[in-house]
Amino acid sequence: MKKTGAEILFESLKLEGVDTIFGFPGGAVLSIYDTLLKYSEEIRHILVRHEQGAVHAADGYARSSGKVGVCLVTSGPGATNAVTGIATAYMDSVPLVVFTGQVPTMLIGNDAFQEADIVGITRPCTKHNYLVKDVKDLAAIIKQAFHLARTGRPGPILVDLPKDVMADSTEFAYPAKVKMRSYNPTYQGHPGQIRRAVKLIAQAQKPLIYAGGGVILSNASKELASLAQKFSIPVTTTLMGLGGFPGTNPLFLGMLGMHGTFQANMAITHCDVLIAVGARFDDRVTGKVETFSPRSQKIHIDIDPTSISKNVLVDIPIVGDVKNVLKAMLKFFEEEPAQDWLQARVDWLKQIEEWIKTSPLTYKSGPCIKPQFVVKKINEITQEITGGNFIITTEVGQNQMWTAQFFTFTQPRTLITSGGLGTMGYGFPAAIGAQVAFPDKTIIDIAGDGSFQMNIQELATAVQYKLPVKVAVLNNHCLGMVRQWQQLFCAQRYSQTIFEVAPDFVKLAEAYGAVGLRATKPEEVEPVIREALAIRQPVVMDFVVDRDECVYPMVPAGAALTEMLLV
């Protein structure tokens, strides 16, 4: 029996196990949305208010659940509005399949109404993309898209769907397997390289693990914890790696890099063996590359061979899935002569303890609400009330860094944030996606007032679908991180970073049908958080915080990690 392109799309989604898509309709996808009515009991569609919100929501759904996120938008401006979300997912290796509408094939290249070359536009920020020119190719392309999105180094795949292709029909047969000669990810690390790495770690006096988001993507948190615990190796993580190693473990040093802890940055500078696990040595981590971890021999484990020695030369490259490689390392360690590993590292761990005592994370209290105080209180109360059943998303900027510093993450996939691209407006729609994936979890977006305003329209989405997402706005009436850089590096010349006009977030929340709460004094913070968590509706908490507060420690751009500015 023949099926239309639109029917083939939904039949294929069902076979891929997709039950939720995020999207926004338009003329080029009219037939797809019409066909959706037939599948509405099997595939839930979340109608967002902006295409960027659709992709971020699908991204949040994917990061929190480990599944492939799916979204559907129309051609032209609908597709280009999605590009920021696609680039965000690409930088953080998030598995997405993005379907875009396209003008009929006969009009492609004619500057037709709402035409955009979205395949050309997104080529640099997708793992792969497709323009479907024949309905007979549609099922095979969708099969490939999901395979590419979830395998190897995950990433976003775009499938462009011309209007006439979706109206055309053919026999439907979904491929059982994918055959792509040029695509063969390496999942098992080279045994010889893994043995070399194990011997180097066994001989090390000052080893350090530097873990990134790859640990979470490959579900390797248990193996990482086993390696660190059994062999007494301290661990620091990137922003994307937070939650990949328990924040309560005594071996955890906190995040490293530009706003990393004193002890993490000192440890990476003085270690003799550095084990990079699913991390990519980006500039926010390395600071001045020439001074990065100068005393160490470096081991790098990553499934993407192009990431290895890209920014920092390494001594032992291991290409493979992080989980598989760590399992192999643990096995090979059993062949090493038995040692008291804690005793072997005792001087190194004592040195780290000294660094922690020298410059712990802190801030100065005052009559105004300090944003760090708000984050610490959210952490304390959320842990108490939910027992760990929560997900935190963030926007980008100071709110993001304070969350990374003062919130304790003990489980993977409990922090969702835009790391690589640093996308303002990401956190709230991502929180909506996470809440759709986990209706019973407490989902909180920790936001700045600038970031929140970039996708604030999605309050309507949260209210329409009764998603009880909480937003904690650290409201300093300015673009805090840019203002901090202007304060430190532009002699306090604050150019275009102060919001002279800002919305009343409480009234705005109420206008959308959500609940608005406000705290203007430190003693009001805890009652507001407790009230918000007790309400089973979307809530916006407006915390009016000290505008002059800065994020410390801070390594100035291009400086060495040891050149930290402290409180």
Residue 244: partners with Cβ closer than 8 Å, 6 or more residues away: 211, 212, 213, 215, 216, 220, 221, 224, 237, 412
Secondary structure string (H, E, C) spanning 246-306: CCCCCCEEEECCCCCCHHHHHHHHHCCEEEEECCCCCHHHHCCHHHCCCCCEEEEEECCHH
Q: Which of 11, 14, 114, 438 is catalytic?
A: 114
Question: Is 144 known to be catalytic?
Answer: no
Q: In the annotation, is 163 catalytic?
A: yes
Query: Which residue among the candidates 3, 127, 163, 376 is catalytic per the annotation?
Result: 163
Q: 302 - beta bridge partners?
A: 319
Which of 3, 7, 24, 51 is flagged as catalytic?
51
Active-site residue (options: 38, 42, 106, 113)? 113
Distance between CA atoms of residues 242 and 212, nearest Å: 8
Please state, in angstroms and rounded to a whole number, the distance separating the CA atoms of residues 550 and 556. Answer: 13
The crossing angle, in degrees rounded to 10, of helices 5-15 and 138-150 is: 30
Short-list 58, 77, 63, CA closest to 13? 58
Query: If you ran DSSP here, which 8-state letter would residue 135 be given?
Result: G
Length of the chain (residues)? 567
Q: Give the separation between CA 480 and CA 449, rounded to whole angstroms.
A: 9
Closest CA to 214 of 62, 320, 137: 320
Active site residue 564: no
- 441 classed as catalytic: no
In the set 266, 454, 481, 564, the catalytic residue is 481
In 3D space, the residue among 386, 382, 390, 377 whose CA is nearest the CA of residue 434 turns out to be: 390
Q: What residue type is assigned to position 452 of the chain?
A: F
| Percentage helix, strand, coil for the chain under 3-state DSSP, each rounded to 5 | 45, 20, 40
* Residue 531 a catalytic site member: no
Return the number of other C-beta atoms located less than 10 Å from residue 500's C-beta.
Answer: 6
Catalytic positions, written as ranges: 51, 113-114, 163, 481
